[in-house]
Amino acid sequence: MNRNTLTLGGLMMALAVPAAAQSAAPPPRMEPAARIYYRTVKVEGLDIFYREAGDPSKPTLLLLHGFPTSSHMFRNLIPALATDFHLVAPDYPGFGNSSDPTVDKFAYTFEHLADVVDQFTQKLNLSRYAIYVQDYGAPVGFRLAVRHPERIQAIITQNGNAYVEGLTDFWNNFRDVYWKDPSAENAKPLLAFFKPEGTQFQFLVGARSKEHISPDAWIVPQAGLDRPGNQAIQLALFYDYRTNPPLYEKWHAYFRRYQPPTLIVWGKNDPIFGPEGAKAFQKDLKRSELHLLDAGHFALEEDNDEIAGYIRGFLKKQAAVTQAK
C-alpha cells in the first residue's frame, strides 16, 4: 500500500464523520403558531397589509397601531402571544405596507380608517375579537366597538386615549391653532413631527433607558413618513383628530352600558397621553385592570414581555369567568 492510498483512505474516514452528522435529525422548526404570516387583502380597491399568527380557532386579538408606526410596532408582541391567541395586525391606508393613495383620492379621516378596518375584519371573517389599541388605534378601535358592541370580547388599551384627562400640553398647539385653522402657516410647527428627530421623540422621551429602544423602532416608520405625499396624509389626520374628543362621551356611554373587560397598560411617562387618561377608564369600566409602567408612549419597546404577560393573564381570566357563567 503506497503513501497516496493511505492519504486517500484517511481523507475518506475524515469525510465520513460529517456525513454521519448530516444524517441526524434536523433541528426543530419554529412552532407553527409562532410563525408570522405577511399578507395583503383588498379593501376599497386598496392593498391592506397585515401580519397574522396563531391558531384561528383560538381567541382573536386585533392589534391597532398608532402614529407614526404600523403593524411593525407589534413585531415582538405577536410571537410572544401566538401560542395562546390568534393575532391580526393591519396597516391603515397611508401607513406601513398598505396602499397610500394621495389625499385627493382618499379621505384620510378616523371615520374612514375605521370603515376600512371594519371591512377588513369582515373580509377575514373576524366576527368576535378583543382589540389592542395604542394612540391612533384608540379612535379607530372605539369607533368599531360602538358600531359593533357584539363583536368586542375585551379591550387592551396601551396609551390609547379616550378621556380629556389624558390630553397633555402636547395637544395645545393642535387644539388652539391648527384645529381652528389648518393653514399652511399653522402647519409649519407640526412638520417637525415628520422629521427623524420628531419620530425619535415619540419613542425615546419617557423611556427608562434609550439603550432599551432598538433604532428599528423609528427607522421603519420614518421610511414611511419620507414617502412622497405622506406629509399631506399625516397633516390630514392631524387635523381630523379634532373629531375624536367630541366622541369621548359616546365612547364612555358604550363603556358604561356594555362593560367590556378592559386591561389598561400605560407608559406613565408618555408626553402625549398622560397617566390620568389611563386612570380615567376605571370611572366607567367595572371589569378593568390598570398597570402603570415606567415607560413612554411606545411601551412595547421596553416592556413587551411584561405587557404580553398581562394580556395573557387578563384574557385567560376573562375567558374563565365567561365559561363559569
Place of cell 365559561: 323
pLDDT computed for residue 15 by the predictor: 46
Q: Which cell goes with 233?
A: 396624509
Q: How confident is the model at residue 12 (pLDDT cuts 50, 70, 90)?
A: very low
Contacts of 135 (CB under 8 A, 6+ apart): 65, 66, 67, 159, 160, 161, 272, 273, 297
In Å, how far are 125, 216, 315 from 75, measured between CA atoms? 23, 11, 20
Q: How far apart are CA 166 and CA 143, in angstroms?
A: 18
pLDDT in tens, 120-154: 999 999 999 999 999 999 999 999 999 999 999 99
113 near 144, Cβ under 8 Å? no
R_g over Cα of the chain: 24
pLDDT computed for residue 167 by the predictor: 98
* pLDDT higher than 70, residue 27: no
pLDDT in tens, 174-185: 999 999 999 999
What domains are there in the chain, each with its CATH number?
A: 32-324 (3.40.50.1820)
Place of cell 374563565: 320
Task: State the DSSP string of 228-285.
Answer: TTHHHHHHHHHHHGGGSGGGHHHHHHHHHHH---EEEEEETT-SSB-HHHHHHHHHH-
pLDDT in tens, 224-281: 999 999 999 999 999 999 999 999 999 999 999 999 999 999 999 999 999 999 999 9
Closest CA to 162 of 290, 265, 273: 273
Mean pLDDT calculated for residue range 91-102: 98
Q: Which residues pair with 60 in a beta bridge?
A: 86
pLDDT computed for residue 262 by the predictor: 98
User: Does the annotation count 65 as an active-site position?
Assistant: no
Burial per residue of 32-57, b for 16 or more beta-carbon CB atoms within 10 angstroms, e otherwise: ebeebeeeeeebeebebbbbbbbeee
pLDDT computed for residue 11 by the predictor: 43
pLDDT computed for residue 29 by the predictor: 57
Q: pLDDT over 70 for what percent of the chain?
A: 88
Closest CA to 157 of 266, 274, 270: 266
* pLDDT higher than 90, residue 322: no
Higher pLDDT, 4 or 38: 38
* pLDDT higher than 80, residue 33: no
Q: Could you say which DSSP state residue 37 is in?
A: E
Q: How confident is the model at residue 24 (pLDDT cuts 50, 70, 90)?
A: low
pLDDT computed for residue 151 by the predictor: 98
Half-sphere exposure of 299 (CA within 13 A, CB side): 29
What angle, rounded to 10 degrees, do the helices at 248-258 and 137-147 form? 50
Contacts of 47 (CB under 8 A, 6+ apart): 40, 41, 98, 99
pLDDT averaged over every residue in the chain:
92
